[in-house]
Structure 1
Amino acid sequence: MAELENPNVMTNLITFLSSLLKRVSESNDNKQQPQRISVFHGLSRPTISIHNYLERIFKYANCSPSCFIVAYVYLDRFTQRQPSLPMNSFNVHRLLITSVMVAAKFMDDMYYNNAYYAKVGGISTIEMNFLELDFLFGMSFHLNVTPNTFQAYCAHLHREMLLMQPPLDFPNSSLLKSSSSSKAHLLCSNNDESHNSHHQHQKQQQQQELAV
């Protein structure tokens, strides 16, 4: 938990994830294969970069750090189950905000409503509702992430990050705690009273900033 909450680790994780998603999206942009249009597709490529968009989500979503790993798991599950909907530059931003929102709802004890995530993502609440529904059905509601699965994805991301120069700090498998609960206690339990108080204070600050 301490490693993921380290600002440097999270900065590196966001940098790597955005680079990975950018690479995948651009690769699929260049593939000459039929791609089904979905609610995740925009009419044009968003002007905000994937990196800046992910930083915005990290700043305002205020979810537990592990939610970003779980969101990556969800994205992988979604694309595997929806081969006709590969991630590209026209849908990656909407897939990102939706996956983080769903992860936060499933993982965290405290989270925002859809209207707030819509503001973070720069879309309407109605669109956010449709995205969530399509995403859940697209994953066949396969939301549970076991400690073993979480560890496997951490290890995969760690290996990929080691290929980057210079190497980036990343949490290791010691972060995992065994659990048989549906939420798997993937290092983002918010049961501590002081943590909840701090979380609530941050929520109020974030809401005030977005309202400006």
Structure 2
Amino acid sequence: MAELENPDEMPRVITFLSSLLQRVAESNDVNRRFELQKISVFHGLTRPSISIQSYLERISKYANCSPSCFVVAYVYLDRFSQRQPSLPINSFNVHRLLITSVMVAAKFLDDMYYNNAYYAKVGGISTTEMNFLEVDFLFGLSFHLNVTPTTFHTYCTYLQREMIILEPSVNLGRSLKLHCSFNEDESTHPKQQLAV
């Protein structure tokens, strides 16, 4: 699997991913007034008080998953949005979608990961809810969990573009450098639901 070369890049990946998801959620909050949207197990009754960035930092701090998990979680969120167009990412569901996507990515990608009860504590939800979220997320993805190096690189490129927006003076040569341990091709690209 493709990996980020430098684990110290993790906070930057979180910053860029949270910025991107914040804009997507805000955009879908506005569009929510005009489009029919389904309520799901991912929706909270209120917007969480913790910011998306703080929530991702919390997950990063306690879950100890590889930096690549956050990129793969981004891939999964995009796939979920494509397959579930009536459930766009918004400020009422983004936190539950994040904890679930990172947990699923860690289980699929990392050799060692925590169980659902641990992720539930990190995410501030019950273990029962975490179990339901995982099942709904997997079915929402149609269990399409494999991420090829080509797809991984494509999504990293989108995160690099986010970096340019946030930090225009940063040297791209040291951002999100990648290497692959195998070659496989997939013609998947981030769709407009997340690539705002």
**In the TM superposition, what whole-angstrom CA distance separates every residue of 1:153-195 from its partner, at most 9, and x where no partner exists?**
112221232233344452134x223256xxxxxxxxxxxxxxx
8 Å CA contact retained: 1:155, 1:172: no
8 Å CA contact retained: 2:4, 2:176: no
Could you say which structure has the greater relative contact order, defined with CA pairs below 8 angstroms and 6 or more residues apart?
2
Q: Which is greater in Rg?
A: 1
Match of 2:66 among 44, 64, 70: 64
Q: Which amino acid aligns with 2:96?
A: R
Distance 1:112 1:171 in 2: 25
The equivalences for 1:184-199 within 5 A come to: none
Other structure's SS at 1:163 match: helix
8 Å CA contact retained: 2:73, 2:101: yes
1:76 paired with 2:81, answer no
Equivalent residue number for residue 20 of structure 2: 20
Structure (1/2) with the larger helix percentage:
1
1:137 paired with 2:142, answer no
Equivalent residue number for residue 185 of structure 1: none
Pair 1:65–1:165, CA change in 2 (3 A): closer
8 Å CA contact retained: 1:161, 1:167: no
Distance 1:2 1:131 in 2: 27
Q: Which amino acid aligns with 1:177?
A: S
Question: How many residues matched?
Answer: 177
Structure 1 length normalisation: TM-score? Answer: 0.79
95-104 vs 155-164, greater mean Cα deviation: 155-164
Q: Which amino acid aligns with 2:180?
A: L
Structure 2 length normalisation: TM-score? Answer: 0.86
Distance 1:85 1:54 in 2: 21
8 Å CA contact retained: 1:14, 1:51: yes
Pair 1:82–1:14, CA change in 2 (3 A): same
Give the drift of 1:47: 0.6
Equivalent residue number for residue 49 of structure 2: 47
Match of 1:155 among 146, 154, 157: 157
1:176 paired with 2:180, answer yes
Q: Which amino acid aligns with 2:79?
A: R
Unaligned runs of 5+ in 2: 185-196
